[in-house]
Chain A
Amino acid sequence: MNPFPRICMTSLLFGTLAYGVGVAGDQLDRTQRPKGKPAPVIHLPEIQKSSLKNGLQVWLVENHKLPLVAFSLVIPSGTDRDPAGQPGIASMTADMLDEGTATRSSLQIADDLDAIGANLGTFANTDGSFINLGTLSRYLDKALEIYADVVVHPVFPEKDFSRLKKQRLASLLQQHDQPTAIANNSFNFILYGGSHPYGNNPMGTEQSVQSMTIDDLKKFYHTYYRPGNATLVVVGDADLGHLTGTLEKLFGSWESGPVPTAVLPNPPAAGQRTIYLIDKPNAAQSEIRIGYPALARSTPDYFPVILMNRMLGGQFTSRINLNLRERHGYTYGANSSFRFFKGPGPFVASAGVITDKTDSSLVEFMHELTLMREKGMTAEELAYAKKGAVGSFALAFETPAQIAGALQSIVLYGLPENYFNSYLQNIESVTLGDVQRVASAYIDPSRMAIVVVGDLAKIRSKIAALGLGEVVLCDTDGKKLP
C-alpha cells in the first residue's frame, strides 16, 4: 500500500489551512474504511533445547529486548494429582517450597531475593505445579542459585507450615464473602462432585487443610517433583551455553525417580438441566454460571470449538455479550468459555447480572445457547471469527511472559512442537460444517447445570416460574441443603 495516497495530501494541506475553522470543511471521505496492509511476518519463538544429566529438560527462547530473564519450572502434576479426599495438597506443597531450605530460612529466602529485586512465585493449578522466577539479567547467577535451592532442597519446616495453614483457612473463609468465588467453586463442585479433582477447590476444604500433614506434602514433593517430570522454560536475556553449565551445577544434585502415571476419573455425565440456587442475602447482583463437563485440551475439535465459542461468548462482540450487556444492559459483561484441561474441563457461560433481571438473563442465556446449538453460525460469522483469531495470533508472542505461557502449554498438553507453525493453517481449514457439528455436539442447554448466587428472597420465585428445570437449594460450597 502506498503510504502517501493522493487523498492524504489533499486533506493534509487543507487541514493546515483550515486551522481553527472546524471539521465542516473536511475533505476526507470518512465513509471509506482504511484497508489493512499486507499481513506482517510473525516470528515464532525459536526454542533451543538441552537436557541435564538427571533428565531435566531445559527450553530456552532468547529475547534480549529487556535486561530480564523469566524462568518457569513446569511440573505437569497439579491439583489433578491431589490424593483422593485430600484436596489442597498440591497447592500447599508449592506454597511451602520457599518457606525454608536446608541452608535458608523462610526470611532468608525472601531477603536474598529482595536484595536483587527478583520475584519468585510458586503455585499449583489444575494441570501442573509451577515455580516461576523473574530477575534482572545482571543478577542471573545469584537468582538462579536461590531458585535451585528452593526447587531442590526444600525442607517444609513445621512452624511455617502451621502459619500457612492458618492463612489458608482464613482465605477459605474469605472466599465466602465473594459471590464470584462462591459461584465458581460451587459450579465446579456441582459439575464434578467431591471425588473428581476438578470438583474441588484447588486450595482444599477447611477439613482437608486442617488434617493435612508435613508428611503429605513431602510425599507429594518426592513423588512428582522429579527432574524427569519437569521442564525448565527460560525466556529472556540469556544464552544456552552459560545457562546449561550453571544449571548443571545447581540442579545436578536433584535426584531422578519414577513418577506414577495417574488416571483421571471420568467426570459424572451431565443429567437433566437443573437450577442450583445459593443464597447471598442483600447481594447487589446475581452471579450466574451455566454449563457442564465438556472437553479436554486434546480434543480433535479444538479449532472449530474455539472459533464457535468466539462468536458465542468468547469476545466483546460475541452474541452473549452483545445480547446481555449491549442490547439489554443486564450486566457489565457476559461470556462463555471452554476450559480445556488435560482431562475434560467445563464449558461455562457466566455473568454478574442486576438482581431484578436475573430471570430475564437466564432466558437470554438459554436463547443464545439454543440458537447456537440449533442453527450454528453464518458463513460471515465464521469468516469474522477466523480473521479475529488470526489477528490475535499476531499479538500472541510479544512479551517473554506470553512466550513462556505458549511453551508451558506445549509441555503441559503434549502439543506437537510445530504446533504454532501450523496454528494459522488449522484455523483457516475449519469449515462451516465443522462449526455446526461442534455446536450441536457440545452446546446442549437441556443438560446444563445453572448455578445462581444471589438474594434468593428477590429472585427465587421468578426463576422457578421459568420452568427451566428442578430447583435445588445449595450452601455456599455447592452442597445440596437438606
Chain B
Amino acid sequence: MPLFRILTIGSIVMSAVMTAQINIPFEQYKLPNGLTVILQEDHSAPVAAVTVMYHVGSKNEKVKRTGFAHLFEHIMFKGSEHVADGEHFRLLQEIGANINGFTTEDGTTYFEVVPSNYVELGLYLESDRMGFLLNAVTQHKLDNQRDVVKNERRQRVDNVPYGTADEKIAKAIYPPTHPYSWPVIGYMEDLSAASLEDVKEFFRTYYAPNNACLVICGDISPAEMRPLVEKYFGPISRGKDFERPAAVPVTLDAPKRMVFQDSVQLARLYVTWPSAPGYTREDAVLEVLSHILSRGKSSRLYKTLVYERQIAQSVFASAQGSEIAGLFSIEATAKPGKGLAPVQTVIDSVMADLLKNGVSAEDIAKAVTAVEVQTVNSAATVLGKANSLAAYYSYTGDPANINRKMDLYKGITPEEALSVARKYLSRPSVTLSVVPSGKPELAAQKGE
C-alpha cells in the first residue's frame, strides 16, 4: 500500500531487548519535516497519552531573558490559529483528559492523557499549536500569563521556606554565562522584560517539528495512527537549525561558603558539587552513591545524623544529571535550635570515609535494586512511558535506551564507585547555610 511507504520514512525500530527490568516495545519514524514519531501500543487500559516534547529549555535562554522557556509553555495553552483562547483546556477537559506541560533546563513537554477514542483530538490540538501559534499570540495573552507565572514563582519559590536555596546554589556553582546558572522559572525582572517579539522569535527558533518528538502511547493501533499523524503534522514546515549550548566542564577553583537568613524555624545545610551529566555511567554511579548515603535508615548519613546522634531532622543526598552538567548534593536540616556546625562535621567525616574506604558490593547491590524498582514503577502508566520515551529520544538520541537503562547500573564495582566518588566529590563544593532570621551563629561556617 503506497500510503505506508510514504509514511514510514526513516527507520522502524522494534525494541527486542528483553531485560528483567523493563521492556517497552515501540515503533519510531521521522516525517519529512523532521518530526520524530514514536508509537507505543499498550491495550491494558482504554487510555492513551499524547506527548509532544520540544528539545528546548531554560538553557536555551539568554541572560536577562530568564524564565522564557517556561513562560512560553504557558502561552502554548492559550490557543492557536484554529483554537480560541481557553479552548485547548475546554476541549480536553470535556472528555475528562489529564492535561499539563512542564519545562526543565533542557526540555519542554506537553501532554494529554485521553480516553483512547479521543487520540485524534490530541493530535489536532498539538499540531495546531506546533504549526499555527504565532498569529494567535497577543500582548494581552502574554501579559496575563506573565502574571500567572509570577504567581507561580511566588507560590513555589518565594512563599516557600528555603524556596530560593536552589537558585542561590546554582548561581554559585556555575559561571554567570552558563545556562544552568539561572532558575527555570526565571527572575521577576526578566519576566517583566519579555516582549511579544521575544516570544515570537523563540517560537520560530525552537518550536519546529525538527526540534520535537511526538509520542503516542497506549490503547492505539500504529496502523491507524500513522495516517493521522501525517494528516495533522505532515504539513507543518521544518524550522532552521540552531546551535545547542555545549557541555563545558564545570569545576570550582576553591570551596565557596554562603550564609542566608530566611523566615524558617530550622537551620538547613546544603553541600553541592558539580558532577556528571545525566544518562551517563558516571551519573548512574553517583546515583548509587547517593542511595548509599541517604536512602533508608541504615544509609550512612541518615543513620549517623538522624537515627543515632539525632542532630538532624532529615538528610537527603541526590545526583541530578542534566543534559550538559550535573549536581551532586547533600541537604541536611538541623533539629530545632541547633546549629549546623556539628552536622557539617558528620557530613565531612562520612564523606572522608567514603573517599578513603569506598563502598561494598552489597551496598551497591541494594542501591541498584532500588533503582530497578523505580524504573519498573515508571512504566506503570502510559504517561510515564510516553514521557520517558520522549526524554530518552531527546537526550540520548535513541528512545530504546529506556529499555537499556539498567545496563548503566550493571557491573558497578566498589573500585569504580570509589574512583567516581574521588573524581567528583573530593573537588571543591558550594556550602550554603540557611538559618533562621537573626541567628547567623547557627551557620556551619561564616559566609564569604
Contacts and interface: CB of A to CB of B under 8 A. Distances in A.
Interface of A: 3-4, 7-9, 11-16, 18-23, 25-28, 30-31, 33-34, 36-43, 65-68, 106-107, 110-111, 113-119, 134, 136, 163, 166-167, 169-171, 173-174, 176-179, 281-285, 315-317, 322, 325-326, 329-333, 352-354, 384, 387-395, 397-401
Contact of B45 (A26, A43, A117, A353): A43
Contacts of B121: 33-34, 36
Interface in B277-312: 295-298, 303, 306-307, 310
Interface of B: 3, 6-7, 31-33, 44-47, 81-82, 86, 89-91, 93-99, 113-118, 120-121, 123-124, 128, 131-132, 143-145, 147-148, 150-152, 154-156, 158-161, 219, 221, 223-224, 227-228, 230-232, 234-238, 263-266, 295-298, 303, 306-307, 310, 313, 335-336, 366, 369-370, 372-373, 376-377, 379-382
A21 B238 CA distance: 9
Contact of A316 (B93, B120, B160, B307): B93
A166 B45 contact: no
Given A12-B230, A170-B266, A107 B93 contact: no
A332 B231 contact: no
A387 B95 contact: yes
27 contacts: A8-B230, A11-B230, A12-B3, A14-B235, A18-B235, A33-B91, A36-B95, A36-B120, A37-B118, A39-B115, A65-B44, A107-B303, A116-B369, A119-B373, A163-B307, A174-B161, A284-B158, A329-B143, A329-B147, A331-B148, A332-B148, A332-B156, A388-B95, A394-B115, A395-B96, A395-B115, A398-B380
A388 B94 contact: yes
Interface SS majority for chain A:
mixed
Nearest to A68: B376
Given A110-B296, A354-B154, A28 B235 contact: yes
Given A119-B373, A173-B336, A398-B381, A19 B151 contact: no
B82 A30 contact: yes
B234 A15 contact: yes
Contacts of B86: 317, 322, 326
B45 A9 contact: no
A160 to B, nearest CB: 9
A4 B235 contact: no
B147 A117 contact: no
A16 B6 contact: yes
Given A326-B86, A332-B148, A393-B96, A3 B117 contact: no
Nearest to A322: B86
Nearest to A387: B94
A472 to B, nearest CB: 23
Contacts of B159: 179, 283-285, 352
B381 A391 contact: no
A332 B156 CA distance: 9
B237 A177 contact: no
Contacts, number: 259
Contacts of B114: 391
Nearest to A135: B373
Contacts of A352: 151, 154-155, 159
A36 B118 contact: yes
A362 B62 CA distance: 38
Contacts of A116: 369
A45 B328 CA distance: 42
Given A23-B237, A115-B366, A331-B151, A68 B89 contact: no
Given A39-B117, A173-B265, 14 more contacts: A23-B132, A28-B235, A107-B297, A114-B370, A117-B366, A170-B266, A170-B335, A284-B159, A329-B143, A389-B96, A392-B96, A395-B96, A395-B98, A399-B381
A23 B236 contact: yes
B235 A23 contact: yes
B263 A107 contact: no
A110 B230 contact: no
B76 to A, nearest CB: 14
Contacts of B46: 40-43, 394
Contacts of B298: 107, 110-111, 114
Nearest to B374: A117
Contacts of B238: 19-20
Given A21-B237, A67-B376, A167 B231 contact: no
Nearest to B147: A329
A171 B95 CA distance: 41
Of the listed residues A25, A28, A389, the one surrounded by the most CB atoms of chain B closer than 10 A to its CB is A28
A398 B382 contact: yes
Nearest to A287: B159
A42 B43 CA distance: 11
A282 B263 CA distance: 9
Given A12-B234, A106-B297, A394-B47, A325 B227 contact: no
A322 B263 CA distance: 32
Contacts of B143: 329
Contact of B148 (A12, A37, A325, A387): A325
A361 to B, nearest CB: 11
Contact of A397 (B45, B113, B131): B45
A7 B232 CA distance: 11
A26 to B, nearest CB: 4
A395 B47 contact: yes
Nearest to B32: A19
A283 B154 CA distance: 9
Contact of B234 (A11, A400, A401): A11
